[in-house]
Chains A and B, each alone.
Chain A
Amino acid sequence: MPDVTIGLGCAAGFLVIGATGAAIGRFSFAKTVIYGLSLALSLIALGLALSFLLRHAEASTVILPLGLPGTGAHFRLDALSAFFLLVVSLGGATTSLYALGYGQSERAPLRVLPYYGAFLGGMTLVVLAADAYSVLVAGEFMSLASWALVVAHYRDPAAVRAGYVYLVMASFGTLCLLLAFGLLAHASGEYTFAAMRATKLGPEVAVAVAALALVGAGSKAGVVPLHAWLPLAHPAAPSHISALLSGVMTKVGVYGFVRIVFDVAADQSPWSGLVALTLGGVTAVLGVLYALMQHDLKRLLAYHTVENIGIIFIGLGLALAFRANGQDGVAALALTAALFHVFNHAVFKSLLFFGAGAVLTATGQRDMERLGGLIHVMPKTAVVFLIGCASISALPPLNGFVSEWLTFQAILLSPQLPQWGLKFAVPATGALLALAAALAAACFVKAFGVVFLSRPRSPEAAAAREVDRFSLSAMFVLAALCVLAGILPGFVIDWLSPVTSALTGAVLPHQASMPWLSIVPIAESRSSYNGLIIFLFLTASGLFGAAVIHKFATRATRRSAIWDCGFPLDSPVTQYTSSSFAMPIRRVFGAAVFGVIERVDMPLPGEMRAGHFQVRVRDPAWRFIYGPLARSVARSAQWLNRMQFLTVRSYLTLVFLALIGLLLVVAAWR
């Protein structure tokens, strides 16, 4: 049986699971059955994708008699599909495992279970689809299923608003993709990717397709300024769904971009790369800055997704620029970096959302200002969350470092580019990337510190208990993946080689055969990195340091007055809060980027009322783009509404004038 048939079988299985969820959702055993089946099916798909990449298997195609009459629905499993299928099914598997525990507390299972299978099935179909019609239908199916999951808790007005914004953005994105595929189908005369791939595009068409793909797929992925739905929708969903939305579905958007500009419409100019790269840099920095301002844990994570999508698009833009200049080796390096980061982000963002979900289950709180001290009551969650934080902050020896390091290796090769614009823009983007990485570290120091360290800021936080074993095992699996991919990155890079050879025509040197399991992207004389040695060194030096301290430090008990850090009160409110932690950065970037308004209401001497400090932070995307857009739509709707109340004669006059106008155009045209 060809591989693609197995993949399609998995997708069909997910859809059946969705239908089963609708049928049995009201019974108490339904959650275990649905999530258990999803876990099994995701593991099959995971095995398929992994074996496909390891075998360097040939792409296989299947045509089903569905969809457009005469065309049929084409599905194809090639290296790129297999890699994204791996990401989707890995996310699906761990989420299902997590949901076996977390999902049990769901109050309205019928609003989640049917769409869960449908969502996974939709994502699987998108990565397998190989003609424009199927990919758009599957994409819309995926969007609608995920929309249903976002509004699962529909009594929350925030969730309904998030769902509305999400629906609008998803429709807009699909419109852009529709136009992109329309251009491609016009050029090639067919809807299949195979025909589009074989067609040579004119430069204007290629640029238009790339721009539409960037907007269309970027709105799904969350590229600034199309990210506005993401921080609304991701936190609104139940936490395991948030992990899928953030960790996996944004990657399906990335897949759409890669599929179009690297494969289907591959004749791109270097300037497409420049646009993607610049947008990626801006996205990374703005995403992390927004994230720093948040105090809702899930919102913070959602904004970090925006940042990471930016990092991925930097890699993709670099790959485009290098490939368009014929430097396939460097293009392969940049593409490897981007795809590696896709994998990494899927892993650690799922992990972090699972952690946020665990905190939510244990305390009922998402607001970081009401958390704290959880490391004492939830030590296991704290450890895995810390690993996730370190990974996303790109600290060696974890996986986040490797992909960002690879991206920097590609950036450092930018002087090889012939275009002066790119020579300047790429290092500038590198600076943005460095800034984003540093700010991400600050942000996760804040997230981990405020949530898990210090003392509980609310009774709920003090009364928290460790979560169930399914949730914990899912988180431990992901944390282990973070560590493994970090210390043995060479294997991951080798798995990616079929993808890069298909899309750029070049591969990185075979990494598993390098001495000491180092990774060497170009040549050993230039740069190499060895996660394993760093890991061993860190472990050894840490253990040695601990041993020395335990051996030689005194155990004598000393008694002295407590140093109270200058705080006269012994209350948890005197601790650093999330917003006070972010204050310096807010002050530096605040007025310019966020339009921050800080208002202090200080009681006069003698007054007995409490003082108030108020901070208002606004996303400039709303202020400068969506706000004016929504207002102008409302205004024109108001104006058009008057057209509903004209007299019959006025309507006739309008018809008459339109007719005369058209006739005049015809007369003038000749």
Chain B
Amino acid sequence: MPSLWFDIAHLFAGGVLVLSLVLLYQDRVTAAINVFALQAITLALSVGWQAFIQSEPLLLVTALMALAVKGFVIPMALHRIVRRLDVHREVEQVIGGGATMLAGLALVALSILLLQPVSGAGDVVAHEDIAFALGVVLLGLLMMITRYNAVTQVIGFMSLENGLILAATGARGMPLVVEISVAFSILIAFIVFGVFVFRIRERFDTVDVTVLERFRGERREQG
């Protein structure tokens, strides 16, 4: 196989990672949703390319599912939620954008540092894809913990899951059943999150989770 093909695979995987970093920097909910959609489309391209170079037609099904569900259905649904709830304003961040970006870069460095010396097992594609994938997972987690807004936390979670799919398709021989079940669990999680967000909104007139925490029954007064 020409080495160009590997480079293209790296390009797509790297694209997913870069979009994760872009996602981390967004301070508007609508922009974050758009970046997430873009990331999902890039992921679909990456998986489709993997299907081609691994000659695994079943991976195409995964790519199509990622494209349809995460590239279009979920972002559109999120946009609808945001319009309905009227929360397309700035998102409050726990720590500032610059600091978050620095932390994100450090995480990417860490994941490459971790997986670079691993040699022998697997081919080169799998190898570097997994480093990217771990970076995407860590960035998704970082996004979840640095936002107060429930919708952006959902996006962080979804982006984390994109990293898992990237890792799974990079290695050879991932059964389709596992991917389908992962996709379904994401769908269920999305529904649960959606219901949850609506309930928060109905009850407290906001989707800022700090408000929610104030209403926890067992919370002890700090004294």
Decide if B213 is an interface residue (CB 8 Å cutoff).
Answer: yes
Whether the pair B209, A648 counts as a contact (CB closer than 8 A) is: yes
Whether the pair B114, A653 counts as a contact (CB closer than 8 A) is: no
Shortest beta-carbon distance, B206 to chain A, in Å?
15
> Which segment, of A146-154, A172-180, A659-667, faces chain B?
A659-667
Decide if B110 is an interface residue (CB 8 Å cutoff).
Answer: yes
Which A residues are in CB contact (< 8 Å) with B141?
A: 652, 655-656, 659
Q: CA of A649 to CA of B95 in the docked complex: distance in angstroms?
A: 13
A616-644 contact mask (Cβ, 8 Å, vs B): 1 or 0: 00000000000000000000000000001
Which B residues are in CB contact (< 8 Å) with A663?
A: 110-111, 114
Residue in B94, B117, B148, B209 whose beta carbon sits within 8 Å of that of A670 in the complex: B117
Which B residues are in CB contact (< 8 Å) with A655?
A: 141
Q: Which of B107, B117, B141, B218 has the most CB of A within 10 A?
A: B141
Whether the pair A656, B142 counts as a contact (CB closer than 8 A) is: yes
- Whether A647 touches B209, Cβ cut-off 8 Å, given contacts A653-B145, A660-B107, is yes
Q: CA of A653 to CA of B110 in the docked complex: distance in angstroms?
A: 17
Decide if A27 is an interface residue (CB 8 Å cutoff).
Answer: no
Shortest beta-carbon distance, A382 to chain B, in Å?
62
Decide if B220 is an interface residue (CB 8 Å cutoff).
Answer: yes
Decide if A563 is an interface residue (CB 8 Å cutoff).
Answer: no
Whether the pair B110, A645 counts as a contact (CB closer than 8 A) is: no
Which A residues are in CB contact (< 8 Å) with B213?
A: 647-648
Which A residues are in CB contact (< 8 Å) with B37?
A: none
Which A residues are in CB contact (< 8 Å) with B23?
A: none
Q: CA of A664 to CA of B110 in the docked complex: distance in angstroms?
A: 8
Decide if B113 is an interface residue (CB 8 Å cutoff).
Answer: yes
Q: CA of A670 to CA of B148 in the docked complex: distance in angstroms?
A: 37
Residue in A652, A660, A664, A666 whose beta carbon sits within 8 Å of that of B144 in the complex: A652
Which B residues are in CB contact (< 8 Å) with A649?
A: 94, 144-145, 148, 209
By the criterion of a CB under 8 Å from any partner CB, how many residues of chain B are at the interface?
20
Whether the pair A652, B220 counts as a contact (CB closer than 8 A) is: no
Whether the pair B114, A652 counts as a contact (CB closer than 8 A) is: no
Whether the pair B113, A645 counts as a contact (CB closer than 8 A) is: no
Which A residues are in CB contact (< 8 Å) with B94?
A: 649
Q: CA of A666 to CA of B142 in the docked complex: distance in angstroms?
A: 20
Shortest beta-carbon distance, A461 to chain B, in Å?
55
Q: CA of A645 to CA of B221 in the docked complex: distance in angstroms?
A: 10
Chain B residue at smallest Cβ distance from A647: B213
Chain A residue at smallest Cβ distance from B144: A652
Decide if B219 is an interface residue (CB 8 Å cutoff).
Answer: yes
Whether the pair A667, B113 counts as a contact (CB closer than 8 A) is: yes
Which B residues are in CB contact (< 8 Å) with A656?
A: 141-142, 145
Which B residues are in CB contact (< 8 Å) with A660?
A: 107, 110, 138
Which A residues are in CB contact (< 8 Å) with B145?
A: 649, 652-653, 656
Chain A residue at smallest Cβ distance from B117: A670
Which B residues are in CB contact (< 8 Å) with A670?
A: 117
Chain B residue at smallest Cβ distance from A648: B209
Q: CA of A663 to CA of B114 in the docked complex: distance in angstroms?
A: 8
Q: CA of A120 to CA of B141 in the docked complex: distance in angstroms?
A: 58
Shortest beta-carbon distance, B108 to chain A, in Å?
12
Which A residues are in CB contact (< 8 Å) with B114?
A: 663, 666-667
Q: CA of A653 to CA of B142 in the docked complex: distance in angstroms?
A: 8
Q: CA of A450 to CA of B210 in the docked complex: distance in angstroms?
A: 71
Chain A residue at smallest Cβ distance from B115: A667
Which B residues are in CB contact (< 8 Å) with A647?
A: 209-210, 213
Whether the pair B117, A645 counts as a contact (CB closer than 8 A) is: no
Q: Which of A645, A659, A666 has the most CB of B within 10 A?
A: A645
Shortest beta-carbon distance, A660 to chain B, in Å?
7
Within 8 A of B (CB), among A517-553: none
A interface residues (Cβ-Cβ under 8 A, vs B):
644-645, 647-649, 652-653, 655-656, 659-660, 663-664, 666-667, 670
28 A/B residue pairs, CB under 8 Å, sorted by A: A644-B218, A645-B216, A645-B218, A645-B219, A647-B209, A647-B210, A647-B213, A648-B209, A649-B94, A649-B144, A649-B148, A649-B209, A652-B141, A653-B145, A655-B141, A656-B141, A656-B142, A659-B138, A660-B110, A660-B138, A663-B110, A663-B111, A663-B114, A666-B114, A667-B110, A667-B113, A667-B114, A670-B117
B interface residues (Cβ-Cβ under 8 A, vs A):
94, 107, 110-111, 113-114, 117, 138, 141-142, 144-145, 148, 209-210, 213, 216, 218-220
What 5 A-B pairs come out closest when comparing CB atoms?
A: A647-B213, A653-B145, A652-B145, A656-B141, A667-B114
